Amino acid sequence: MKPVYATPRLDVRPWTDDPADLDRAYSIYSRWEVARWLGAQPRAMADRAEALTAVRRWAEFNARDDRYGCWAVEVRDTGVVAGSALFKPLPNGDGEVEVGWHLHPDSWGHGYATEAARGAIERGFAAGLPEVYAVVRPDNAASIAVCRRLGMDPLGRTTRWYGVEVEAFRLAATDRGE
């Protein structure tokens, strides 16, 4: 499958309903250590059927506007899906766009979140987007570190977009030093 975008080590592509993708999606999102950081009401997937529902929901979302998506982050050298990269309008916003990442614990600590997010951000800036946001649960030190590595400016805590307290970060296209 053709990637939506590629980075030096990663191919970021749509999730599929292939059994390997469904197994990996379930393995990622059924883990509390991943799910605890996601959504207004965090919940781990309870069974593999939820993975199929999620993959189909992501495909519908991806089809609406090719600027945005929830995509599989595949490590090119191994073919292993490390997790998901997200690029989407923030809910209840004024057109702000969010970059996000959800990685399997076996893929933590390799720089994949930063690399996948940087690719999504660059893709957005190349399409004319003036800025990108990230929202992170306050206790999620690893994701806050990713925001810092991306060069994002901390904006403080807010409940504006998701109705739960998050740390907000912003990167403007003009902040990249180009």
pTM: 0.94
Give the chain's domains with CATH numbers: 5-176 (3.40.630.30)
Q: Tell me the per-residue pLDDT of 35-94, one tens digit each, with 9 for 90 and over.
A: 999 988 899 999 999 999 999 999 999 999 999 999 999 999 999 999 999 999 999 889
Q: How many CB atoms lie within 10 A of CB 132?
A: 23
| Strand, helix or coil for residue 148 | helix
